[in-house]
Amino acid sequence: MRAFSGRFIALVCAVGVLAAIMTPARAGPYEDGLRHFTADSFDETIEGINAIAGSGNALAAQVIGALQEGRLLFSADEKRVFIREAPDQLIEAETGRPVAGGIPSDLAPVRLNNRLRRIVEAALGSLTLMAPDPAKRLEAAQAVLRSKDPNALPALDQAIAQESDARIKQALNEARAAVVLYLDSASDADKIDAIAVIRQRGDQDALALLGGLLGSASPAVKKAAADAIASIENSLALWSALQNAWYGLSLGSVLLLAAIGLAITFGVMGVINMAHGEMVMLGAYTTFVVQQVIRARNPGLFDYSLAIAIPLAFAVAGTIGILIERGIIRFLYGRPLETLLATWGLSLILQQGVRTVFGPTNKDVGNPSWMSGSFDLGQMTITYNRLWIIVFTLLIFVGLLALLRFTRFGLEMRAVTQNRAMAASMGIRTSRIDALTFGLGSGIAGLAGVALSQIDNVSPNLGQGYIIDSFMVVVFGGVGNLWGTLVGAFTLGIANKFLEPYAGAVLGKIAILVLIILFIQKRPRGLFALKGRAVEA
Amino acid sequence: MIGALVLRALDRGAIAFLATLAAIAVLVPVLNLALPPTSPFHLSSYFVALFGKYVCLALLALSVDLIWGYCGILSLGHGAFFALGGYAMGMYLMRQIGTRGVYAHPVLPDFMVFLNWPELPVYWYGFQHFAYAAFMVVFVPGVLAFVFGWFAFRSRVTGVYLSIITQALTFALMLGFFRNNFGFGGNNGLTDFKDILGFNVQAPSTRAALFVSSMLALMLGFIICRVVVSSKFGKVLVAIRDAEARTRFLGYRVEAYKLFVFTLSACMAGVAGALYVPQVGIINPSEFSPGNSIEAVIWVAVGGRGTLTGAVLGAVLVNYGKTYFTSGVLAPYWLFVLGGLFVAVTLLLPRGIVGTIHYHWREWRERRRLAAPVPNAAPRPAE
């Protein structure tokens, strides 16, 4: 119903405008304004722009737009103004119809300088305030907010009266308030009202607007502005804290994805897999290959590329993980330090292998449409890819918890983690559990690679960037308990993002590392440590 | 007393090894300086610098072997101590440039002028004196290792946990040194050196002298390590390596032993770094990268963990292989070789080259003794 009435009003307006065009031309402000352009003087041109912008004529926007783009031509002899629509098509500015008859020989574009360009922009801003396209209207309102052009005030009032879209109306009101704030003739009461409107807006633009006021205004206005600034700064600080928390959650989820597989293998087998980062990298490259195939064979499936890549990445990384366990790690049991070295060697081989096959440069992995873009939540910007990664991480986490709690494999895994010798004597085939666990941990790393391919550069060094952070998560969170990894990852992620604004990215990272070194003084085996005599074994 | 200690520490094999090192230390400069370039036995200055580099890395390997081979501490951050020693030496060399830099500033190094530093930061004071720089070469890595080790060993961080934390340490230092405002030249590091103790760094005679100094440092390091590991103290270290908890229950202060040997090893690594920098002509933050530290561990593993000669041999062999591979068309395959080396050595040659030879030699001798009618053959010492 509301939409209908909106359209109805628009229709009425359109009819009115049409009627205005249809009435025979008479010398109104619009036609007078056009005359000013034929004088070829900057001052005259300004007068012309102001007259046309205030005229309310339907052609005004087109004329000013043409002026901005250098397509407005004039003939000084015949006192006529034309718009060049196409290289060989001229429109009579007065009537808006194609030129009939002879074209004057002394055509020249109306000239602009920088001062005029600003005036043109402001005029155009106020003219498009009533454009039929809502996006354009919103843009125009924001342009006026920035330009604070007093000439736009009548147009703004008119636009506010007509506007039906609540969001645009809000923007228009704010634009009007901005104009009033810097209008010398406005009363203090009006200005204070305007400050209230701007205060509602509460972002950096609002701060800039109010900050500019502090120099010149009367004491009452100054006080209101200062109050508003203080309140906006408070709310901005809150929002930036929220935004940091969001970034922290996002980083934490990435860390969790990268670290969770590591934590499982470390928990069950007591070995650190230095090639874990390379499993992440292989997952990312699997995504790349899937997308390449889709691009070549069936571009329509592109939005499903990640859904296809997820099981494949799990399978690829998981299989390689099992091969590593069967081929190398099982010969090194009881020698965790040697395992560390051997897997480091493997990571070098895998990296160089990928570099040989795919080349050393970054590969372009695209975002499917449902993962690109962002939306605003208050003063926060939330990108869809980060949001989906958090969801994806939590799904994996819950899935793993369920696997550990409710399946036979999970039960056996927990048994081996707690006491390998006892589990073996109860008939659990520990070597099979080891292989499967290693495969599972690597497979999850592959899944992490699918997610990371969406937010990071896919290169042979992808895994290297995450491996030390994942170690920190495992050391901090402790092993043998997934909750420790969860808490560790999110704590480190959020702490990192909150330290960054104060200390910078690098110093923040160093501070975190130092804090972890101090932390393990207190709890050498992490937050959630396994207890009992099996630990020392 | 010290003399007696040293004499007891040096068995026949150690003396033979030291003699070999001394022979090389004499031979290389002679072949380089005394022979005309046309002679087939002439050694170019390039090789002298290259061998000098290997010798420094061998000293680093020795320091890693001392803690890993004899005390079971796998440090994946020993490159940090090496690089810190290198930076201390680099700072001295930077101060020696004086007005010959691009900006000809009498006090500030070029990069500081470039970054608009108004004056020399306090921690650069005193580095124009060689003695002070030489002291810092040992002192800075030593203090860092002492503080870090004190924290880590006291809370009984062992095994892979310790390895990961040491790796984080060198990673953190790398991030820090990459920053321009740390005052160490950012990612360009320190380079463009001119003089050391008044001699041109590039001159063949200086290079030869640096080579000899590195050799002497390596020999001294070897003797120190020998003294440590053959003393009663060294036996306790081996006990800690093989069964830490038991050693503690026997009443030894495990933390104190570990802390001492860790700090000593870091000081040695610092000296190695300080001798390395003038020979390669640059020190930059990539020396801190965790990969470098792990590579040092593999030199030891190749040569033979727990054998000091093995560490030296492994460092030279692997680095010669690296030079051989990366300077030719085989360059893309070097990482395959290095990675394969990690895997193959841990799987197939866990004792390393020298360790395996020792093992078979000992077995052969054992068998011969068993064949002879000797009652009460000594029990084989535990590994």
Q: What is the pLDDT of residues B87-137, one digit of tens each?
A: 999 999 999 888 888 888 888 888 888 888 888 888 999 898 999 999 999
Q: How far apart are CA A95 and CA A489, in angstroms?
A: 68
User: In the prediction, which pLDDT does B292 show?
Assistant: 93
- Is pLDDT larger for residue A237 or for residue A205? A237
Instruction: Give the DSSP H or E segment for A497.
Output: helix A482-522
How many CB contacts within 8 angstroms connect chain A with chain B?
122
User: How confident is the model over A244-251, as a mean pLDDT?
Assistant: 88
pLDDT of A507 reads: 81
Is B335–A338 a contact, with Cβ atoms under 8 angstroms apart? Answer: no
Q: Kindly tell me the burial class for residue A160, based on how many C-beta atoms sit within 10 Å of its own C-beta (0-12, 13-18, 19 or more).
A: middle
pLDDT at A2 over 70: no
For A219-245, the pLDDT digits (tens) are: 778 788 888 888 888 888 888 888 888
Q: HEC string of A27-88?
A: CCHHHHHHHHHCCCCHHHHHHHHHHHHHHCCCCHHHHHHHHHCCCEEEECCCCEEEEEEECC
| A143-167 pLDDT tens trace | 777 777 777 777 777 778 777 788 8
* pLDDT confidence of residue A7: 58
Amino acid identity for residue B383 in this structure: E
The whole-angstrom distance between B161's CA and the closest CA on chain A is 7
What is the pLDDT, as a whole number, of residue A155? 75
**For chain A, what percentages of helix, strand and coil (3-state, to nearest 5) are there?**
75, 5, 20
Confirm if B271 and B138 have CB atoms less than 8 A apart. Answer: yes
The minimum CA-CA distance between B343 and chain A, rounded to whole Å, is: 4
A516: chain B residues, CB-CB within 8 Å: 165, 168
Q: Which pLDDT value is given to residue A165?
A: 80
| Low-confidence winner among B169-173, B266-270, B276-280, B375-379 (lowest mean pLDDT) | B375-379
Q: How confident is the model at residue A56 (pLDDT cuts 50, 70, 90)?
A: low
- Answer whether B249 touches A (CB < 8 Å): no
For residues B29 and B55, give the distance between their C-alpha atoms in angstroms, rounded to a whole number.
14
Confidence of residue A5 (pLDDT cuts 50, 70, 90): low
Q: Across chain A, what does the average pLDDT equal? A: 82
- Yes or no, beta carbons of B339 and A352 under 8 Å apart: yes
- Other CB atoms within a 10 A radius of the CB of residue B333 amount to 15
Residue bearing tokens 């330090």: A337
pLDDT for res A84: 81
Tell me which chain B residues have a C-beta less than 8 angstroms from the C-beta of A529.
Answer: none
Residue indicated by tokens 């690594």: B269
pLDDT higher at B328 or B190: B190
Per-window interface: B 262-301 vs A, CB < 8 A: 290, 294, 297-298, 301
Calculate how close chain B gets to A394, using CA atoms only, in Å. Answer: 27
Chosen from B326, B335, B336, B348 to mutate, greatest number of chain A CBs within 10 A: B335
pLDDT of residue B285: 93
Distance, in Å, from the CA atom of A65 to the CA atom of A69, rounded to the nearest integer, reads 6
Which of B215, B170, B171, B180 shows the shortest CA–CA distance to B58? B215
* C-alpha span between B9 and A269 (Å, rounded): 40
CA distance, residue A335 to nearest chain B CA (Å): 10
Q: For chain A, say whether B147 makes contact (Cβ under 8 Å).
A: no
Give A259's contacts in chain B (Cβ within 8 Å): none
**How sure is the predictor about A10, in pLDDT bands with cuts at 50, 70 and 90?**
low
Inter-chain CB proximity A471 and B168 less than 8 Å: yes
Q: For B172-197, what is the mean pLDDT?
A: 88
Give A334's contacts in chain B (Cβ within 8 Å): none
* CA–CA separation, B96 and B193 (whole Å): 8
Which of B346, B347, B383 would you mutate first to test chain A, the one with the most A CBs within 10 A? B346
Task: With CB atoms and an 8 Å threshold, state whether A506 touches B346.
Answer: no
For residues B248 and A416, give the distance between their C-alpha atoms in angstroms, rounded to a whole number: 28
Most confident by average pLDDT, A2-11, A94-103, B333-342 = B333-342
Q: Which of A272-286, A365-379, B252-266 has the lowest mean pLDDT?
A: A365-379
Predicted confidence (pLDDT) at residue A6 exceeds the cutoff of 70:
no
pLDDT in tens, A372-421: 888 887 778 888 888 999 999 999 999 999 999 999 999 999 888 888 88
Q: Which residue of A has its CA nearest to B169?
A: A513
Query: B303 to chain A: which residues are within 8 Å by CB?
Result: none
Cα–Cα dist A421/A419, whole Å: 6
Which DSSP helix (H) or strand (E) runs through A383? strand A380-383
Torsion angle of alpha carbons B305, B307, B311, B312, nearest 10°? -170
Optimal mutation site among A328, A520, A523, interface B, most CBs of chain B within 10 A? A520
Q: Provide the pLDDT for residue A21.
A: 47
- Is the separation of the CB atoms in B253 and B154 below 8 Å? no
pLDDT tens, residue by residue, A482-523: 888 999 999 989 988 888 877 777 788 788 888 887 887 777
Q: Is the pLDDT of residue A59 over 80?
A: no
Q: Do B160 and A506 touch (CB under 8 A)?
A: no
Residues A161-186 pLDDT 10s: 777 788 888 888 888 888 887 777 77
**What pLDDT is recorded for position A11?**
53
**Mutate which of A344, A351, A507, A513 to disrupt the B interface (most B C-beta within 10 Å)?**
A344
- pLDDT tens digits, residue range B55-92? 999 999 999 999 999 999 999 999 999 999 999 999 99
Distance from A524 to chain B by nearest Cα, in Å?
A: 6
B342 at A interface, C-beta within 8 A: yes
Report the residue from B163, B169, B333 with minimal CB separation from A340: B163
**Average pLDDT rounded to a whole number, residues B216-238:** 94
Q: Which residue of B has its CA nearest to A470?
A: B164
Contact A345 B343 (CB under 8 A): yes
- The phi, psi pair for A28, rounded to 5°, reads -95, -170
Q: How large a percentage of chain A has pLDDT more than 90?
A: 23
Residue A536 has pLDDT above 70, yes or no: no
* pLDDT at residue A19 in the model: 47
A291-315: pLDDT as tens digits: 999 999 888 888 888 899 999 999 9
Residue A532 has what pLDDT?
55
Cβ contact A203:A379 at 8 Å? yes
Contacts of B341 in chain A (CB under 8 A): 345
Residue in B with minimal Cα distance to A328: B347
Task: Identify which of B157, B294, B346 has the shortest CB distance to residue A520.
Answer: B157
> What pLDDT is attached to residue B187?
86
Interface check for B348 against chain A (CB to CB < 8 A): the answer is no
Residues of A in contact with B155 (CB under 8 A): 520-522, 524
Q: Is the ipTM, as predicted for this complex, more than 0.90?
A: no
Pick the more confident residue, A229 or B380: A229
Q: Looking at chain A, which residue has its C-alpha nearest residue B173? A: A510
Interface contact flag, A524 B160, Cβ < 8 Å: no
Which chain B residues touch A510 with a CB distance below 8 Å? 172, 175-176
* Predicted TM-score of the model (pTM): 0.77
**Percent of chain B that is helix, strand, coil (3-state, to 5):** 75, 0, 25
